[in-house]
Every structure is written in C-alpha cells, then in structure tokens.
Amino acid sequence: MSDPVRLAKRVAGLAQCSRAEAEQYIKNGWVTVAGTVVEDPAHRVTDEEVAVDPAATTQAIEPATVLLHKPVGVDAIVGANPATALVDPGTRWSEDPSGVRLLQRHFHRLTPLVPLDTEASGLMVLTQDGRVWRRLTEDHDEIEQEFVVEVRGEIAPWGLARLNHGLSYGGRALPPCKVSWQNEFRLRFALKGVQGGQLRHMCAQVGLEAVAIRRLRIGRIALAKMPAGAWRYLPVGERF
C-alpha cells in the first residue's frame, strides 16, 4: 500500500494541472474516489481509484438556492423542528427539472427566507446566495405570494369584498389584495407583505375558520407538483 497523499496532489498528477486547479476540480464535484464523489481537496488517498470527470471545469460553482415543500408542523425560520433539517441528498425531488448537479457543499449554511407559519405548508426558500437573500428580504413587501386556504364556516355578508380590501391586522389597515373562491371550501389569496398569522386572522374577521393553508407561489416561482418534504434547486437565472 502506498503512503497516503492529499487528493489534490493525486488529481494534479492525473489531470496534468496545477494544485490550485486540482483543488477547484475537487470542490466542484468533478472527482471520484472509488466511485464516490469527494469534494475535500485534503482528503487522503492511497491505492483507491481516483477519476476526474472528462467534463471537469474550474469555473466556480454558483451558491445554491433550494425550494422546499414544507410540511405542516415544521418550523420555517426558527424553532425546535427546523425546515433546514429536511434538506439532504435523500429528499431531493426525483423530478427536479433544474439540471443542477448535487454537491455536498450545497447543504452548508442554507439560510431560510420568507416566513411561513408552522401549521401552514407549501413553498419555502433556503439559500446560500446573497443576491437571493437581498431580494427576498429587502423587497419582501413588493413580492406577491399566493396561498390556497381551506376554510369552514359561513362567510359574513360582503365577506369576500372585505377580504380583498377592508380588513386590518396588528392594529393596521391591510392593503388591497386578491381573494377569490376556488371552490366552496377553498379560497385563493394573492397578496404582498404577508405576516405570520395574518391569513387565519383575515378569515376569522369574516366568520371563517382557516383549516389548512398552503403557499403555492413566491413572486414568479411556483411550488408546482413537488410533494411535501421534497426539495429542488432553483436554476441559476430564474428570478423571484
């Protein structure tokens, strides 16, 4: 058995490239050790088979943004049952259309954005990308979100009109929004600057009880058919 050496040194020899280039190949997920992708240039190897993907490039990998279908009972931003714990290689949506290569580095320091009530489900955003963070925090009140709310009870007279404009929350008048019936049990809400607990409170003000809330869309990005508990990548270039 040969003496252990850093993976970067082995790759530099295999690819006939500099040590810095070898480290970038490894960090970008282009190198396998005994058939398994290894992203740590300092990983020690001896006689294992090391291979470099023929498509390997040193171009920097973009930070990841993940779209998660948060189930009911999971905490979006803070809490004992955080949504970040659901994002791992095994829960990636099998039909993810993004084409993004899965890398272990994508699961480090994911920041959850755009709050969603614990008892609500639907689209969540987690990101490593400062540009996405700025867009969804600084412009939060300008980005429309869409929800479907299952309700029960008898709506008050003029209740639908009041849901669209005429209610208050937290002592402040709410701006106009778009609310319509999907069927006799479901309301569709499209609104900006939504706050925690707001949708339940809006429904209660017109005599309805919100039984279930699901977020379908944030800006231009939709939940689509992704099942609860699964996630997919936001492709580079798609914007909220």
How long is the chain?
240
Q: Whole-angstrom Cα distance, residue 76 to residue 24?
A: 33
Within 10 angstroms of residue 120's Cβ, the number of other Cβ atoms is 24
Q: pLDDT confidence of 122, banded at 50, 70, 90?
A: very high
DSSP-derived letter for residue 114 is S
pLDDT at 1 over 80: no
pLDDT at 40 over 90: no
pLDDT in tens, 217-237: 999 999 999 999 999 999 988
For residue 165, report the phi and psi dihedrals to the nearest 5 degrees: -170, 125
Continuous H helices in 62-151: 130-138
Q: Tokens 């990636």 — which residue?
A: 92
pLDDT at 197 over 80: yes
pTM: 0.88
Continuous H helices in 17-94: 19-27
pLDDT in tens, 163-178: 999 999 999 999 999 9
Q: Whole-angstrom Cα distance, residue 85 to residue 126?
A: 11
**What mean pLDDT comes out for the span 203-225?**
97
CB 133 within 8 A of CB 111: yes
Q: Whole-angstrom Cα distance, residue 120 to residue 149?
A: 9
Domains of the chain from N-terminus onward: 5-52 (3.10.290.10), 65-140+221-233 (3.30.70.580), 144-218 (3.30.2350.10)
Q: Tokens 């479907």 — which residue?
A: 148
* Exposure of 139 in the CB half-sphere (CA atoms within 13 A): 14
Q: Tokens 């209740």 — which residue?
A: 159
> Terminus-to-terminus CA distance in the chain, angstroms?
53
Q: Tokens 């969804």 — which residue?
A: 136
Looking at residue 36, its pLDDT comes to 86
For residue 132, report the phi and psi dihedrals to the nearest 5 degrees: -70, -40
Looking at residue 100, its pLDDT comes to 92
Q: Whole-angstrom Cα distance, residue 224 to residue 96?
A: 11
Residue 29: which residues within 8 A CB-CB, separation 6 or more?
37, 39, 61, 101, 103, 104, 105
Q: Whole-angstrom Cα distance, residue 74 to residue 83?
A: 6
DSSP-derived letter for residue 2 is P
pLDDT in tens, 46-95: 988 999 999 888 888 889 999 999 999 999 998 999 999 999 999 999 99
What percentage of residues in the chain have a pLDDT greater than 90? 79
DSSP-derived letter for residue 104 is G
Q: Whole-angstrom Cα distance, residue 200 to residue 197?
A: 6
Structure tokens at 138: 């600084």
